[in-house]
Amino acid sequence: MEKVNILIIGAGSIGLSVAKVLSEEFEDIVVVEKEDSFGRHTSSRNSEVIHSGIYYPQNTLKAKLCVRGAELLYEYCKTNDLPFRNCGKLVVATDEDELPALDKLKENGERNEVKGLEMIDENECKSLEPQIKAIKALKVPSTGILDTYKFMQKLECDAEKNDAFICYEMEVNSIKKTENGYVVNFSNGEVFQANTIINCAGLFSDKMAEMVGIDIEKENLKIHWCKGEYYKTTKIKDVKHLIYPLPDPKGIFLGIHLTINLNGEVRFGPNAYYVNELNYSMDETYKKDFLLAVNKYVQIDEDKLQLDDCGIRPKLQEEGGEFRDFYIKEESEKGFPNFINTIGIESPGLTACLAIAEEVKKLLNR
């Protein structure tokens, strides 16, 4: 049986950030990942946006870790010469009815200490983005984009430089608490003993908590999968900012927005609907919804939209349910000392990943 000090489950942006940050202080760290490479799930199937933190209720982990995480992420990209762009975004109101919600969003962002928020009128909006229709917009200068693949590759490299091991094709099958920590069984027959476990298993993070013995129904920690699809277009070019509509009033997602990647290519999405299976296949069922949503703020015809990609959100918020925050906790109170859960790490999880790692480190040092 292999003995390790800290076992991190999952090599997405969260597991790799945790490995990078913890390996600066702790020894004998192993990351185990069921796929054959890092970031094969949610961390590579997202909008690649560095969020500012305007949306989330004040004092929530989502608000605090997004603002702190964005700072850390920009700094990390700059220091390590990783591709990113601080392009800024415009949240656009397209009719009078939306103006109160736009004002509220600005107030919320200011409460969360997001810097530089500015309301701009129709003319200023036109001068910044001539192709975009809006009667008013909230300009958010701290928003940006990054290359998630290169970012995760660098995290992996940094963790390995600090002697952490990343082991692929290692699927956790069972976790048992013992007198000295935890015994973990893998589907390939390997067995590890770990003093500390950090659960960063994304879409399966509730299953890891359940494996150790936490009653996820009773503790309200069941993950609900919520799919989001993207369409791309080559018709629209030269957009400089990310363009967002007002967020979905039910709080499930941010609205079908326009993002650019580092090459300036435009795509729209994601939409949001709950699913029961982990299936990344796509069809055009929701194309009309996309057209309707997108044409509120930009002119585009149906034949200029092509299916692109999709991702699945690991949400604690169930369908029709209330806002849920990130769940990041050391589980001594539940009888599982040195077992740290990160559950429900949906958006802005990519932005927040380095701040989440700092939070995990604080929990270990308590």
Binding site for ligand FAD (CB under 6 A): 9-15, 32-35, 39-43, 45-49, 51, 171-172, 200-204, 228, 270, 311-313, 345-351
CB 30 within 8 A of CB 23: no
Closer to ligand FAD by Cβ: residue 203 or 243: 203
Give min distance, CB of 186 to ligand FAD, in A. 8
Closer to ligand FAD by Cβ: residue 15 or 255: 15
β-bridge mates for residue 184, sequence order: 175, 192
Alpha-carbon gap, residue 74 to 83, rounded angstroms? 10
Give min distance, CB of 346 to ligand FAD, in A. 5
Closer to ligand FAD by Cβ: residue 22 or 136: 22
Give min distance, CB of 126 to ligand FAD, in A. 26
Give min distance, CB of 364 to ligand FAD, in A. 18
Continuous segment of H or E residues that includes residue 239: none
Closer to ligand FAD by Cβ: residue 12 or 181: 12
Give min distance, CB of 329 to ligand FAD, in A. 15
SS3 50: strand
Alpha-carbon gap, residue 70 to 102, rounded angstroms? 22
Closer to ligand FAD by Cβ: residue 119 or 262: 262
CA dihedral 173, 349, 161, 172 (to 10 degrees): 0
Closest by Cα among 63, 56, 88 to 243: 88
CA distance to 150, 331, 361, per residue, from 364 (Å): 28, 11, 5
For 263, how many CA atoms within 13 A lie in the half-sphere containing its CB?
A: 4
